[in-house]
Structure 1
Amino acid sequence: MSPDQAVLRRALDRGEEEGGSVEFKERLTENLHLSEGRLESLTAQLRHRVLSGDGEATYVVGVTDDGGIAGISPPEFSESMDVLSLLAEEAGAHIEAVQTWGVDGVTDDGTPSVDDGEEAPEGIVGVATVREGAVLQDDDHIVVGTAGHVDHGKSTLVGSLVTGEADDGEGSTRGFLDVQPHEVERGLSADLSYGVYGFDDDGPIRMDNPHRKTDRARVVEEADRLVSFVDTVGHEPWLRTTIRGLVGQKLDYGLLTVAADDGVTETTREHLGILLATDLPTIVTITKADIVSEERVAEVEREVERALREVDKTPLRVERHGVRTAIEEISETVVPVLTTSAVTQEGLDDLDAMFEALPKTTGEVGEFRMYIDRTYNVQGVGAVASGTIKAGEVEAGDELLLGPMQDGAFREVEVRSIEMHYHRVDEAKAGRIVGIALKGVREADIQRGMVLLPRDADPTPVREFEAEVMVLNHPTRIGDGYEPVIHLETISEAGVFHPEGGQLLPGDAGQTRVRFKFRSYLVEEGQKFVFREGRSKGVGTVTDVTPAE
């Protein structure tokens, strides 16, 4: 029996008992189980199970009253989770985690045979963990995008921050962040964020084991203040992925690492340029201070300061001016710089103090808007779109528009459920990284770069737009017909430039008309973007949109 099936077997072996914390349900339906009279009794039953389990209950769905594997259809399982979520809310609890299995039959020992994911299962059976306490109230949550050259200690630094553990000098804490999307059991949680920790009145709340999804959910539940990290890629061949992580998410701050042994590299300058060109308030950390001399650290400090001044930014040494000053002065033009070591934990207390106090910078008012970054198909749930909410807020049950589709049209969908960091929530606000389960669309029909909007919105997708651009790096001139890849929000699409005056030189700023090469997208005035073709790079701002013909 696989470890995953062992979770189900343990729940079945424990069984339903009068004073126990396990409950078997073949199916929960809105018409039957939320009717007058049943709602009250089922809420009382759930509360009893939670209290019996010292604050945690286990609901096995898709089984008979005696624990026999029945399996229910994916739509029926999804409806059951919706009903269970409502019951939990009534009982002052929440669904913390769900594991599901496809049932293609039953083995001799009663264990469901799990499909390989290539064919639709005959049915679904699942184990839901229900925990005492209301769902997350995420009013104070900042999102930090990390950047820096490969082996400059980005993931190691973040791993030490979220766990509080010192690195062993070999990158041991880096492993805490090596989580791939296919490892997410339900797929609902937006795996854009590779690390999370938080704060309450007593200080930091960290993860004991970031590989445990329930541990992440615990931090989200207990913290009054959350800090999520979007950890990007340092290798030059994956610069496109880094751009997507920095441009496509609704980040509050950037965190750029510069290794003390290596210093400022060309990749460092590129990442710094992308961070600052998108007006993202940024902190620079000089990492690996434990493996070099004080003289070398001072030399790298001067390199960093020169690199910042070259792009018209003012460096602010945290060790010299203090954490409070750094918090008050950080801006689009002032960049705090501090020295750190994940091994000795030098500087980590200062980073904690900054992240605890830095104000949230994102969160636009207005109607809900979310650009889609990733999609999943979750067994028993269906299509899931993940991304960072750009504006407004969304609730379970909301009716939305999804698009534009290939033909430029938008499709009506419904929010089935929302999750953040493996924690199911009823609503989420601007700046939050979420996974949204959608009813009314197949996962295959959802693409990165699409947007979710309120149902009554009247969006006009565009094929081309006018922009003010600056060429950061190019070997020669940019002429009419230049074709870079445009990174705008979560859009990554080839575009054609038609610059005013016919050309742009390196270091030039000027106007250009940009036309997406293959399809239209929802683009708005004021949005910033990065363009790249080979080693040529630049940034731009949308100044005018022209409806597609």
Structure 2
Amino acid sequence: MDSFISLFDPGTSDEPGASTFEEDNNNNNEGLGEMIHDLPPEPQLGNIEYKLKLVNPSRQRFEHLVTQMNWRLREGQGEAIYELGVEDCGRLKGISVEDMASSLKTLNEMGKKLGATVSVLRESVVNSGVTKRSTRVVAEVLIRKVPDDQPSLELRVAVMGMENSGKSTMLGVLTQGELDDGHGMARLNMFRHLHEIQTGRTSSISHEMIGFDTEGRIINYQEGSPDTICEMSSKVVTLIDLAGHSKYLRTTLHGITGYSPHYIFFVISASQGFTKVTMDHLALAAALQISLVVVITKMDLVSEEKLDATVENVMEYLCGICHKEAYRIGNEDDVINFVRNQHSNENDVPVLCLSSVTGAGLDVVTKLLHFMQPGLTPNDRERMEKELPVFQIDEIFSIPQKRIILGGLLKQGVIKERTPLLLGPFYDGTFLPVCISTIRRHKTPCLIAKAGQSISLSLGTDIKGLRKGMVLVSPQLMPKATYYFQASISVLFHSTAISKGFQTTVHIGNVRQTTKIEEILSVSRIATNDRAVVLFRFIKHPEFIQVGSQLLFRDGSTKGLGTVTDVFPIEIASLP
């Protein structure tokens, strides 16, 4: 966080075996890419695996390779990338076309053993010989395996940016599969309210989805309903469209903190350029410590010179002010290189250009969404799943037969149908025992949900007093609501100084409420770039929060980040 607090200040070896599998008679050099550079040494952790060749392995060796692939898939949460023709040191030695065909056949058999799909991302020539036998090639292969207890892999992407930057239009093109007419037709499907259609401004949070099948083909609403997308897809991407106007900043921040996206797509209009307001919003997105992707839209409206200037300004700002490593992505090879290195270079920010009217750059954005992976490590995911369940309520729906549907994020733990939980806190700080009736994920019924998944739950009964910001928790947690909590904060920007009595809106997960600073420990006032431990009090009603939760506070131009360090539970008898 140190690097962000000033952003808003205005001033293996060869495989044994001599024989090969039978070569496909149609195999030739067509479709092979150009020569490429060596790779860094093979990482010990993660989902990247180097193999020189996989030619006719023994049965024992084959079983070992399958176990190794399963481990790499686990590291990549169901996805792994194999580099064939590459030594462990990263040297692109290359193998013959015949050995490559045999290696790919072995890789497909390994994937079949695990129930995984195998698709070649690209093949490249490293030594072009006179004959096909003397030519040396390398290949990059994507392995994908959907967990047995999940219908598909899941990725959540929040789309953020200034008003009129083309966020909703871009999402409309991706989800509907049709280009925009230049007058905003594509974005109409994204709007939820009449005033949004009339003004062209998003004021609420909308959720849309696209999917990718085992061959990497995009599945959107051209294929049918959301149920169809889920049925046909091995990977589902939830796209969260956020408001861009400063009037709706509170709604935008709630969408980011409440839905915990894996990535933020920050959209900038090439026609507007890189303005001061856009800089402030980009700095805020960078400070949220969520993986960032910058998409520059409306490239068809500007000259190539102006587009290049905007890209250069964005990259300089990201590198110089936000302390990120930014680089431009212009083709599929760039996308693959980014995805391969994203876990080792977490500060990398790709910058893409797109036109929703001509479709230029659309294939690059689609490929990036196809290959991107959630940032959680397997150890983090296992730790979260072992904890007692906590489900954050972000949406509440009522349907006939007096059934209540709750939508949100399962922050930790595992829940199943008929799992007993506690619902609250209500306005008096109490929790009510409830039982889960049904569970849906991506609008498809499921029997179990795990930490980090966005789901909807049916309680099967009508309950009064429900509100967004409540939680469903395990009775073993013995949850208690609180008015007071302590947090270590950093002030990103404030025009003067913050003192005792200052009121601000605080976002903690799905909680969004006005708070009052009751005490600033050790000092009397804090200003831009200052750090302090602060005691907050919720103004309206008690909330359920946990120590270690990240918080974001804002009031007008005032912005800050922090972490909850202590919570002071209330006793029901002592409620005001």
Give the TM-score, by structure 2 length: 0.65
Report how many residues are paired.
402
Amino acid corresponding to residue 154 of structure 2 in structure 1: H
1:160 maps to 2:173: yes
Structure 1 equivalent of residue 373 of structure 2: 359
1:236 maps to 2:246: yes
Structure 2 equivalent of residue 378 of structure 1: 399
Deviation at 1:533, TM superposition (A): 1.2
Deviation at 1:341, TM superposition (A): 1.3
Q: Secondary structure at the match of 1:283?
A: strand
Task: Note the 1:3-42 alignment, pairs <5 A.
Answer: none
Q: Secondary structure at the match of 2:163?
A: coil
Structure 1 residues 240, 459: CA separation in 2 closer, same or farther (over 3 Å shift)? same
Q: Which deviates more from structure 2 when the two are superposed, residues 265-274 or residues 432-441?
A: 265-274
Deviation at 1:354, TM superposition (A): 1.8
Structure 2 equivalent of residue 128 of structure 1: none
Give the distance between the partners of 1:468 and 1:313, measured in 2 at CA: 24
Amino acid corresponding to residue 360 of structure 1 in structure 2: P
Structure 1 residues 205, 425: CA separation in 2 closer, same or farther (over 3 Å shift)? farther
Q: Which deviates more from structure 2 when the two are superposed, residues 406-415 or residues 144-153?
A: 406-415
Q: Which deviates more from structure 2 when the two are superposed, residues 306-315 or residues 522-531?
A: 306-315
Query: Which of 268, 283, 308 lines up with 1:298 in the alignment?
Result: 308
Structure 2 equivalent of residue 125 of structure 1: none
Structure 1 residues 271, 389: CA separation in 2 closer, same or farther (over 3 Å shift)? farther
1:388 maps to 2:405: no
Structure 1 equivalent of residue 81 of structure 2: none
Structure 1, residues 280-334: CA drift from partner, whole Å, max 9, x if none?
A: 1010101111110111111111221233231222212223981123224446532
Structure 1 residues 164, 440: CA separation in 2 closer, same or farther (over 3 Å shift)? closer
Contact 1:246/1:275 (8 A) holds in 2: no
Structure 1 equivalent of residue 430 of structure 2: 409
Q: Which deviates more from structure 2 when the two are superposed, residues 449-458 or residues 421-430?
A: 421-430
1:461 maps to 2:461: no
Structure 1 residues 138, 464: CA separation in 2 closer, same or farther (over 3 Å shift)? farther
Structure 1 residues 424, 261: CA separation in 2 closer, same or farther (over 3 Å shift)? same
Contact 2:152/2:236 (8 A) holds in 1: no
Structure 1 equivalent of residue 337 of structure 2: 325
1:419 maps to 2:440: yes
Contact 1:236/1:267 (8 A) holds in 2: no
Give the distance between the partners of 1:270 and 1:544, measured in 2 at CA: 31
Deviation at 1:266, TM superposition (A): 4.5
1:141 maps to 2:154: yes
Deviation at 1:383, TM superposition (A): 1.6
Structure 1 residues 285, 520: CA separation in 2 closer, same or farther (over 3 Å shift)? same
RMSD of aligned alpha carbons: 2.4
Contact 1:159/1:195 (8 A) holds in 2: no
Query: Which of 401, 415, 437 lines up with 2:458 in the alignment?
Result: 437
Structure 1 equivalent of residue 14 of structure 2: none
Query: Which of 251, 257, 260 lines up with 2:261 in the alignment?
Result: 251
Task: Note the 1:78-93 alignment, pairs <5 A.
Answer: none
Give the distance between the partners of 1:419 and 1:518, measured in 2 at CA: 32
Structure 1 equivalent of residue 43 of structure 2: none
Deviation at 1:209, TM superposition (A): 4.9
Give the distance between the partners of 1:387 and 1:445, measured in 2 at CA: 17
Contact 2:388/2:476 (8 A) holds in 1: no
Structure 1, residues 503-545: CA drift from partner, whole Å, max 9, x if none?
A: 1111223322222123222212221121111222222221232
1:528 maps to 2:541: no
Deviation at 1:207, TM superposition (A): 2.4
Structure 2 equivalent of residue 264 of structure 1: 274
Q: Which deviates more from structure 2 when the two are superposed, residues 317-326 or residues 476-485?
A: 317-326
Deviation at 1:420, TM superposition (A): 3.6
Structure 1 equivalent of residue 535 of structure 2: 513
Structure 1 residues 381, 156: CA separation in 2 closer, same or farther (over 3 Å shift)? same
Structure 1, residues 20-43: CA drift from partner, whole Å, max 9, x if none?
A: xxxxxxxxxxxxxxxxxxxxxxxx
Task: Note the 1:30-109 alignment, pairs <5 A.
Answer: none
Contact 1:278/1:529 (8 A) holds in 2: no
Structure 2 equivalent of residue 37 of structure 1: none
Q: Secondary structure at the match of 2:436?
A: strand
Q: Secondary structure at the match of 1:495?
A: strand
Contact 1:166/1:173 (8 A) holds in 2: yes
Give the TM-score, by structure 1 length: 0.69
Amino acid corresponding to residue 314 of structure 2 in structure 1: V
Unaligned runs of 5+ in 1: 1-134, 182-190
Q: Secondary structure at the match of 2:339?
A: helix
Structure 1 residues 332, 466: CA separation in 2 closer, same or farther (over 3 Å shift)? farther
Structure 1 residues 530, 332: CA separation in 2 closer, same or farther (over 3 Å shift)? farther
Structure 1, residues 389-445: CA drift from partner, whole Å, max 9, x if none?
A: 212332222211111122222111111222344333333333332221114551x32
Give the distance between the partners of 1:351 and 1:243, measured in 2 at CA: 24
1:492 maps to 2:492: no
Structure 2 equivalent of residue 478 of structure 1: 498
Q: Which deviates more from structure 2 when the two are superposed, residues 343-352 or residues 235-244?
A: 343-352
Deviation at 1:176, TM superposition (A): 2.3
Give the distance between the partners of 2:230 and 2:413, measured in 1 at CA: 21
Structure 2 equivalent of residue 203 of structure 1: 216
Give the distance between the partners of 1:508 and 1:329, measured in 2 at CA: 34
Give the distance between the partners of 2:458 and 2:257, measured in 1 at CA: 24
Structure 1, residues 135-170: CA drift from partner, whole Å, max 9, x if none?
A: 993451001011000110111111222233222212
Give the distance between the partners of 2:564 and 2:356, measured in 1 at CA: 40
Contact 2:205/2:251 (8 A) holds in 1: no
Contact 2:205/2:243 (8 A) holds in 1: no
Query: Which of 268, 273, 288 lines up with 2:283 in the alignment?
Result: 273
Structure 1, residues 106-132: CA drift from partner, whole Å, max 9, x if none?
A: xxxxxxxxxxxxxxxxxxxxxxxxxxx
Contact 1:530/1:538 (8 A) holds in 2: yes
Contact 2:405/2:458 (8 A) holds in 1: yes
Structure having greater relative contact order (Cα 8 Å, sep ≥ 6): 1
1:347 maps to 2:361: yes
Unaligned runs of 5+ in 2: 1-147, 195-203, 572-576
Amino acid corresponding to residue 398 of structure 1 in structure 2: T
Query: Which of 385, 406, 428 lines up with 2:449 in the alignment?
Result: 428
Deviation at 1:257, TM superposition (A): 0.1
Contact 1:251/1:431 (8 A) holds in 2: no
Deviation at 1:488, TM superposition (A): 1.0
Structure 1 equivalent of residue 561 of structure 2: 539
Give the distance between the partners of 2:368 and 2:548, measured in 1 at CA: 29
Deviation at 1:495, TM superposition (A): 0.8
Structure 1, residues 232-272: CA drift from partner, whole Å, max 9, x if none?
A: 00111011110111111121111100000112334433433
Structure 1 equivalent of residue 325 of structure 2: 314
Q: Secondary structure at the match of 1:522?
A: coil
